[in-house]
Chains A and B, each alone.
Chain A
């Protein structure tokens, strides 16, 4: 046990000193926070005047163009950085010629969008045809704005024709809404901001992501440290002083500690940032307890797996092909997280909860997405995961012991099974 602690301590300290660790763990939250902060700052500030968005209009009804032009002018006065300009494309004698002209202008780039308004748009069921040509993604938003103003003009004119007050219609259509989150006690309630609802959505993802990053990033370190010791033959000196199990256990323990420290740092940063931005995030203490339990189980499982993989490989490159299946299975909850959050008690979520390597990922996602996860499922998932951890450590210790002194060709799966049977 003493040796395990000595090794764990060394792994912990040596890992803290590596440049990659400092960059990836300390700077990652800073960089992420920085990007979020500056992107929101920069977006709200005027990015400087851009070329106006010009809409060509052929108004066959004859009653809408003036209103549209007025609306565009009013909008442009308020939004000087990106104006919407009106350009009439008329040909009183030949409407078809006007339309041909409009499309030609659109192709030539003289206008950014082209609208043809049917003759009976005000009185009947006439439509408004909107033509675009190779629309840029950055124009999507303003095109939508222009479209809303044009349909708004049509609604206004239809109201006038039918003698309905358009302001009354607006009043009728407007239903104010408010999102209020109530607390445990009767007078505890708070109006939610839009951002808080998004944050609420992201919390489960954050918890799962923590575990994923912890396992993958720190887990890689076990692999590379085993391979370094193996390829530099330090392993022989180590094994003359400690048993293979002590060596493996020490590594896993040390790096589990690193993982917990990193998670604490990241969680604190994320929480602090949210509070600083005025977003209330309420996460129960139990969540942190689960986070630690599932993280430790998941990390020890993968740590043992990666130590075993490291022991049978001679170079990091060689280990990649063995790593792939382990990484692939972890991607399943990553790509289906949205569905899992939407139905945390659905069949899919429940089945994934009991597939040992991804249990921690899925359970964290479910627990933070809903409060009604049956306690039986939580207990069973932890027990199942704990049993898998024991099996994984047992298998890995055998493979580690047999593989660590094998140089040259990587053993086949059949050979590895033979080692397991022999011992």
Chain B
């Protein structure tokens, strides 16, 4: 079951191809990261998903079917550029968007109070939006996005400008929502955020899909060809091993680069009993490294 499916979606602005033949499937109940450098087409894609822009070709399906109206009330969208009515009070802002997003009238007041508590803005409820600090503004914006408990939450760079405390708060809310069966789709260019939160990711560059899938699968596919070993005994043995292409000391450990097809398990077996191993780590690429590697190659 997919919350969102993009099939060969294209969008151009004049001569600029913002999105070119993008196909994605976002599973229900997952946290999905949209990664890519600035100008990759992330925001354009999200805007097409929420029907602010229309694709030139291709199809976008939400919840496997459903009318435009139905889907609107089940999607919460927080744009990258934040903005709210400056003269409106915090409570009125939440109330207004709740009623626009189809929250039944008799539930609005309770929803609004709950969210005000959750984002710790209860004391600010009757202050104007223009009196809020940047961080508070962002939390309010987030609450506006999810006030109608949407099934699919789309967040464009949600963590930009948050301090560590608010970052944790927002992260926890997102995780709670995932556990409650909601689907969260967010874009970021900060790989660390994606790494700690996402179940699946899509890496997009110049409007094209470079890499997508479950984060764990991507990690295991992209393990590196080297092993870090910390041992007591003669390190000279490392150079004699048939599967080792090179050995390099790194601080108090050795980094062994394996030959093509070399298996780290064989290396471990070969070392066992000969030296005393204190630490053995198969190096994996961080998302950051994968990103730089793939995007760098794509832009070269």
B83 touches A234 (CB 8 A): yes
Complex Cα gap A232–B72 (Å): 22
Q: How many residue pairs, one in A and one in B, have C-beta atoms under 8 Å apart?
A: 62
B52 touches A233 (CB 8 A): no
Chain B residues in 8 Å Cβ range of A237: 77-79, 83-84, 97, 144-145
A233 touches B77 (CB 8 A): no
- Number of residues on chain A facing chain B (CB within 8 A): 22
A240 touches B50 (CB 8 A): yes
Chain A residues in 8 Å Cβ range of B145: 237
Give min CB distance, A19 to chain B, whole Å.
10
Whether a CB of chain B sits under 8 angstroms from the CB of A236 is yes
**Known contacts A6-B100, A7-B100: does B52 contact A234 (CB below 8 Å)?**
no
Whether a CB of chain A sits under 8 angstroms from the CB of B189 is no
A1-54, CB < 8 A from B = 2-3, 6-7, 10, 14, 17-18
**Known contacts A239-B52, A241-B72, A405-B52: does B85 contact A234 (CB below 8 Å)?**
yes
Most chain B CB within 10 A, of A235, A239, A242, A405, is at A239
* B interface footprint on A195-230 (CB within 8 Å = 1, 0 otherwise): 000000000000000000000000000000000110
B97 touches A241 (CB 8 A): yes
Whether a CB of chain A sits under 8 angstroms from the CB of B118 is no
Whether a CB of chain A sits under 8 angstroms from the CB of B53 is yes
Whether a CB of chain B sits under 8 angstroms from the CB of A238 is yes
Whether a CB of chain A sits under 8 angstroms from the CB of B134 is no
**Known contacts A233-B82, A234-B84: does B53 contact A240 (CB below 8 Å)?**
no
Give min CB distance, B94 to chain A, whole Å.
12
Write the chain B residue with the least CB distance to A13.
B92
Give min CB distance, B123 to chain A, whole Å.
22
Whether a CB of chain A sits under 8 angstroms from the CB of B75 is yes
- Number of residues on chain B facing chain A (CB within 8 A): 28
The A contact surface, by secondary structure, is helix
**Known contacts A7-B100, A10-B96, A14-B87: does B47 contact A236 (CB below 8 Å)?**
yes
Complex Cα gap A107–B72 (Å): 84
* A interface footprint on B43-86 (CB within 8 Å = 1, 0 otherwise): 00001001111000000000000000000110111110111111
B52 touches A232 (CB 8 A): no
A241 touches B83 (CB 8 A): no
Whether a CB of chain A sits under 8 angstroms from the CB of B101 is yes
Whether a CB of chain A sits under 8 angstroms from the CB of B290 is no
B79 touches A233 (CB 8 A): yes
Choice from A6, A14, A18, A232 contacting B99 with Cβ under 8 Å: A6
Complex Cα gap A22–B264 (Å): 78
Chain A residues in 8 Å Cβ range of B81: 233, 236
Complex Cα gap A154–B83 (Å): 82
Complex Cα gap A17–B128 (Å): 13
Complex Cα gap A195–B81 (Å): 60
Complex Cα gap A241–B145 (Å): 10
Give min CB distance, A4 to chain B, whole Å.
11
Choice from A17, A233, A235, A240 contacting B72 with Cβ under 8 Å: A240
Chain B residues in 8 Å Cβ range of A239: 50-52
A241 touches B87 (CB 8 A): no
Chain B residues in 8 Å Cβ range of A242: 72, 100
Chain B residues in 8 Å Cβ range of A7: 100
B86 touches A232 (CB 8 A): yes
Chain B residues in 8 Å Cβ range of A229: 83
List 11 A-B residue pairs with CB atoms under 8 Å apart, sorted by A's residue number. Answer: A17-B87, A232-B83, A233-B83, A236-B83, A237-B145, A239-B52, A240-B72, A240-B76, A240-B77, A241-B100, A405-B53
A-binding residues in B (CB < 8 A):
47, 50-53, 72-73, 75-79, 81-88, 96-97, 99-102, 144-145
Nearest 9 A-B pairs (CB), nearest first?
A: A232-B83, A240-B77, A233-B83, A236-B79, A233-B81, A240-B50, A234-B83, A239-B52, A241-B100
